[in-house]
């Protein structure tokens, strides 16, 4: 073999080796991000509209980052948490205060002192040690929170310039409340309204949580206040106004990603999901719910449009 041909062949081999090295480097030529854990992830959670939207949001962000994503939801928290802990599911959306107390009760018993507060960051910090013992990592909470709320008729709110529960107490200290029967004994419901805001519930109409019957009772003047969700985007359309919980009665049920530490507890996964937590608001979540429940759009379509609008896709 001539010296010229030997040099040409050696150069070709070196070029192939260099190309192979480039293909193995993270972020080169659009390859999937290199991670120290699994590049195939399963997103799970509960089977209702809001959770299906959140699962689609997380899944689409992970897909865009190069992960292969599967979905597996369950009808009970106990079921999807068991899957999360086993590694059958890698990522779930959760509610900070509710999940904190779920872990707290499971670890310390049903009579354990409450660790959740009205502050999302403090609640997440309190639950992280319990999550770590279960092999889970809790990421950054979003401003978006699905909490218990209270709504009055918009005409009443406008007439008295009321936007918050403390203002209602000043105008109408004795109220008729349309809510669940259990509201009478739950600390953050009727007892909380009376203790924190000084409201006196003269009568409780057992008409359910955010039900059409409860809302109609307020609109018809049979009740002053209805128990609703803060992410109910239909309130304004129906002539109802959600009052601000300005004295922070409710616990911080902010949306937060929880991951299996072994399979998804990487900086890469956190970097993919935390930007969503940086922008998602309660109003955003309410509007997403409305698009699915009110406009009959698919959760995955609503999620894609939102992520695109926010510059996350």
Cβ contact 140:256 at 8 Å? yes
Same domain, 257 and 295: yes
Q: What is the DSSP letter of 224?
A: S
Which of 243, 267, 285 represents a domain boundary (last residue)? 243
Same domain, 238 and 260: no
Same domain, 47 and 141: yes
Domain assignment present for residue 44? The answer is: yes
* Chain CA centroid to CA 167, Å: 29
Same domain, 201 and 265: no
Domain assignment present for residue 189? The answer is: yes
Same domain, 256 and 239: no
Residues 238, 285, 33: CA angle, nearest 5 degrees: 165
Same domain, 217 and 256: no
Per-residue pLDDT of the chain (313 residues; tens, 9 = 90+): 443 444 344 444 334 334 333 333 333 223 434 444 459 999 999 999 999 999 999 999 999 999 999 999 998 999 999 999 999 999 999 999 999 999 999 999 989 999 999 999 999 999 999 999 999 999 999 999 999 999 999 999 999 999 999 999 999 999 999 999 999 999 999 999 999 999 999 999 999 999 999 999 999 999 999 999 999 989 999 999 999 999 999 999 999 999 999 999 999 999 999 999 999 999 999 999 999 988 999 999 999 999 999 999 9
Domain assignment present for residue 65? The answer is: yes
Identify the burial level of 248 via C-beta atoms within 10 angstroms of its C-beta, where 0-12 means exposed, 13-18 middle and 19 or more buried.
exposed
**Rounded CA gap, 308 and 302, in Å?**
10
Domain assignment present for residue 206? The answer is: yes
Instruction: Indicate which CATH number applies to the domain containing 206.
Output: 3.40.190.120
Same domain, 130 and 262: yes
Domain extent, residue 260, equals 40-145+252-309
Domain assignment present for residue 197? The answer is: yes
Q: What's the whole-model pTM score?
A: 0.81
Instruction: Indicate which CATH number applies to the domain containing 119.
Output: 3.40.190.10
Which of 214, 243, 272 represents a domain boundary (last residue)? 243
Same domain, 258 and 303: yes
Strands 200-206 and 91-95: unpaired
Same domain, 49 and 113: yes
Same domain, 121 and 265: yes
> How many structural domains does the chain have?
2
Which of 218, 243, 268 represents a domain boundary (last residue)? 243
Same domain, 130 and 218: no
Same domain, 66 and 130: yes
């Amino acid at each position: 073999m001539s010296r010229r041909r030997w040099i040409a062949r050696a150069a070709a081999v070196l070029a192939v080796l260099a190309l192979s090295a480039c293909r193995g480097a993270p972020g080169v030529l659009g390859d999937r991000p290199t991670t120290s854990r699994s590049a195939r992830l399963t997103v799970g959670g509960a089977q209702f509209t809001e959770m299906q939207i959140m699962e689609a949001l997380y899944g689409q962000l992970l897909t865009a980052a190069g992960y292969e994503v599967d979905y597996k939801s369950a009808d009970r928290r106990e079921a999807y948490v068991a899957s999360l802990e086993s590694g059958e599911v890698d990522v779930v959306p959760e509610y900070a205060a509710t999940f904190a107390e779920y872990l707290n009760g499971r670890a310390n018993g049903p009579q354990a002192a409450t660790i959740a507060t009205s502050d999302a960051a403090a609640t997440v910090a309190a639950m992280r040690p319990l999550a770590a013992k279960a092999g889970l990592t809790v990421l950054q909470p979003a401003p978006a929170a699905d909490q218990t709320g209270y709504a009055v008729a918009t005409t009443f709110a406008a007439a008295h310039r009321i936007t918050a529960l403390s203002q209602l107490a000043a105008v109408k200290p004795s109220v008729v409340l349309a809510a669940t029967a259990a509201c009478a004994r739950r600390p953050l419901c009727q007892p909380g309204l009376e203790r924190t805001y000084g409201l006196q519930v003269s009568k409780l109409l057992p008409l359910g949580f955010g039900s059409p019957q409860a809302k109609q009772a307020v609109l018809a003047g049979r009740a002053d206040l209805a128990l609703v969700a803060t992410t109910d985007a239909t309130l304004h359309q129906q002539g109802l106004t959600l009052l601000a919980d300005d004295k922070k009665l409710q616990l911080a049920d902010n949306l937060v990603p929880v991951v299996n530490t072994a399979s998804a507890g990487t900086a890469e996964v956190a970097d993919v999901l935390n930007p969503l937590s940086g922008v998602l608001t309660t109003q955003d979540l309410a509007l997403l719910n409305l698009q699915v429940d009110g406009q009959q759009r698919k959760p995955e379509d609503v999620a894609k449009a939102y992520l695109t609008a926010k510059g996350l896709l």
